[in-house]
Amino acid sequence: MPVQFLEKEKIFTIHTDASTYQMKVDDLGFLLHLYYGARTQGCMDYLLTYMDRGFSGNPYDLKLDRTYSLDALPQEFPLWGQGDYRSPALNVRDREGTFGCDLRFAGYEICEGKYALPGLPAVYANEGDGAETLKIFMEDAVLGLKVTLLYGVLPENDIITRAAILENAGSGDVTVERAFSASLDFLTGDYDLITFHGRHAMERNMQRSNVDHGAFAIGSRRGMSSHQYNPMVILADHDTTEDHGRCWSMQFVYSGSFKALAERDQYHQTRLQMGLMDELFSYPLRKGEELVLPEVIMSFSGEGLAGLSHHLHNCIRRNVCRGKYRDIPRPVLFNSWEAAYFDFTGETIIEMARNAKELGAQMLVMDDGWFGNRNDDYRGLGDWVVNEKKLGCTMAQLAESVHSLGMKFGIWIEPEMVNEDSDLFRAHPDWALAIPGRKPVMARNQLVLDFSRKEVRDHIFDQICAVLDGSRIDYIKWDYNRSIADIHSYGAEDQGKVLYDYMLGVYDFLERLTQRYPEILVEGCSGGGGRFDAGMLYYTPQIWCSDNTDAVDRLSIQYGTSFGYPPCTMGAHVSVCPNEQNGRVTPFDTRSVVAMAGTFGYELDPAKLTDEEKEMVRRQISDFLTYAELLHNGDYYRLTDPSSAEAGAWETVAEDGSEALMSAVVLRIHGNRTPIYVHLRGLTKGAVYRDSRSGREYPADALMDVGLPLPVGMGEYQAFVYHLVKL
């Protein structure tokens, strides 16, 4: 059984195939963390040490015993108010304004299957996963605050999830001022923290920093998980590499404001935490009310960062993403945005679909500009009524025309936003988040609709459903193009609840949309990768990875993204050159090789391609469809770091080792260039592989030990692909 409890020792142990997690209820009812690491047996309470420590408080229960302090002991869910001065996972305030609480153990329950969270996305279990749930009940007798700590276990995938439910069972109000879903204490070790920072059009750059004395935090105050910091972090030993060493991850299944924190304390212990951003958050709980904390996915690997990524990739692919497109490659699409922007009609969309079909594409997506008075980005958001005058036909007629060509058809929406120049805003200005008496902060000429209010999201939902119900729509691109700055809801008494309740509203909308239209593929987007997180992937099995389509920049963006998210979730397209984001020129084939490491599509007008380029597109699409199953379900390996290597290289290997696809882009060229050897990984030892393109055979062990030399070509950013099939 994955979850075990020793009654006499009061020790909980969680086993996955390769890891063990252990905690103990001590004699005072405190829940102490003992161990999370490589799978082992036995009780680890011997690791706890007790001594008189200056300026570290002692529980009153022990009277004169000064050797016990929660300021030094490892805890499962540390609180403010129990004598621990390190970063708390929970801080509450009572109705008198006093901070702190004192939770003690009140029972437990072990259940088959994986828990679900009301109103929130969460990892789910499939039949045969052997999943179990552990619930640990904690209670503050004075406040009447009850906390249920939730642990979900997917043993075969080495995944443990953490969440919590807070309930006010007392007579007075309690206000939650900080609520982290997961906290890990490490008694020993010297670690690095790996985080992923960035900005719009340059997201998820990997950063590795030593965890020294003090606290290091990342997060988002933007009401979204953000371009600036991704809600996925890794703690690793200093010497951990892709193939060797210990590492632990936390990944938030939430799309709003968050915080992740690593702290090294006075005794050289390390604490890692993740949860809701505590700034701009103050959540009151009246008698009988609950607050559900979003889930954190945790995993441990003793075999380096690649092993950790495989755990997370498998979990996201099989236990987070849902629906028709979870297990199958996505359609190859052409998107109209960079091809036409707002300048299109129904006829030009049909012509684009006709040209894309001739090249082998499977879907045409009509981006922003089809609704209301939306001929630029100054107006129209909020009015989800088809502009039939602009299109020259109804949406149903346009969709049918595209389908008659043998193509799928998709549209762009941005449901959470409104322009001041819109019928919706003129009728309901109070439906936008804005501070009374102040002019709002503008971004991209738009405001944020208050999705914490049911009447607001119901109105938008009904408008969009009217479009979808009357037309054959196969795909929706859901965009979100600004951060939240004015945090005030005209429908809320307590403004500290707004950002959290806003995300619950977004999830409610997405759940209703995906349940009503299970055949539609929804792709998430927030100016590209501003909301690339496990919470959105629960509803949208792919997310536009970045608005930056430059192939060289995309190598770094996709590299950083791959630490926590599988390639099949990364929206990636071939676009024109010079690139419209940075002006760089890269070969057409190189652009396709890089985009093929994602969902694959095109962001250009097929009518403007030369005959030579059209033939290249036909070949590129054919290649992608040949490799699509492998790319979707295979194990992904980062072979080089494109920020420092001579070439950016990556590889996807079939789970059974039967085939592999290795791709590389040369990033630096020199006169009389030295050879670049790329070391492959994940192949079957002792086997021989044949490259299906050249027919040449290679011994697997040599490919992994010595590497494969890339051809010496002329010109910048040359790309090379090897499809290796095991003989």
Question: 326 in a domain, yes or no?
Answer: no
Helix axes 454-469, 498-516, angle to 10 degrees: 20
Question: 491 in a domain, yes or no?
Answer: yes
* Residue matched to tokens 């652009």: 591
Same-domain pairing of 286 and 223: yes
Beta bridge mates, 14: 3, 21
Q: Please answer whether residues 325 and 363 qualify as being in contact, where contact means their C-beta atoms are separated by less than 8 angstroms.
A: no
Task: Say how far residue 423 (Cα) sits from the centre of its chain.
Answer: 34
Catalytic member of 190, 289, 351, 613: 613
Question: 479 in a domain, yes or no?
Answer: yes
Q: Please answer whether residues 292 and 165 qualify as being in contact, where contact means their C-beta atoms are separated by less than 8 angstroms.
A: yes
Same-domain pairing of 585 and 666: no
The pLDDT assigned to 313 comes to 98
| Per-residue pLDDT tens digits for 158-183 | 999 999 999 999 999 999 999 999 99
Same-domain pairing of 246 and 270: yes
| Regions of the chain short of the pLDDT cut 70 | none
Could you tell me the CATH number of the domain that includes residue 699?
2.60.40.1180
Beta bridge mates, 448: 417
Give how many domains the chain has, as a whole number. 3
∠ Cα 656 662 664 (to 5°): 160
- Which residue among 319, 347, 374 closes a domain? 319
- Which residue among 638, 655, 675 closes a domain? 638
Question: 328 in a domain, yes or no?
Answer: no
State the pTM of this model. Answer: 0.98
Q: Which two tokens stand for residue 47?
A: 């690791």
Number of H helices, E strands in the chain: 13, 38
Beta bridge mates, 6: 11
Question: 325 in a domain, yes or no?
Answer: no
Q: Please answer whether residues 14 and 25 qualify as being in contact, where contact means their C-beta atoms are separated by less than 8 angstroms.
A: no
Same-domain pairing of 654 and 538: no
423 catalytic? Reply is: no
The pLDDT assigned to 713 comes to 81
Helices (H), 562-610: 588-595
Q: Which two tokens stand for residue 233?
A: 């972090």
Same-domain pairing of 550 and 656: no
Question: 716 in a domain, yes or no?
Answer: yes
242 catalytic? Reply is: no
Same-domain pairing of 303 and 414: no
Same-domain pairing of 105 and 156: yes
Catalytic member of 94, 167, 383, 533: 533
- Which residue among 618, 638, 658 closes a domain? 638
The pLDDT assigned to 673 comes to 86
Could you tell me the CATH number of the domain that includes residue 443?
3.20.20.70
CA separation for the pair 586, 579 (Å, rounded): 8
Same-domain pairing of 303 and 349: no
CA separation for the pair 219, 250 (Å, rounded): 13
Same-domain pairing of 632 and 671: no
Question: 42 in a domain, yes or no?
Answer: yes
Question: 414 in a domain, yes or no?
Answer: yes
Return the closest-CA partner of residue 208 out of 560, 553, 557, 556.
560
Same-domain pairing of 601 and 655: no
Q: Give the residue numbers spanning the domain of 606.
A: 333-638
Could you tell me the CATH number of the domain that includes residue 278?
2.70.98.60
The pLDDT assigned to 714 comes to 84
Same-domain pairing of 604 and 473: yes
CA separation for the pair 316, 321 (Å, rounded): 6
Same-domain pairing of 634 and 503: yes
CA separation for the pair 4, 151 (Å, rounded): 12
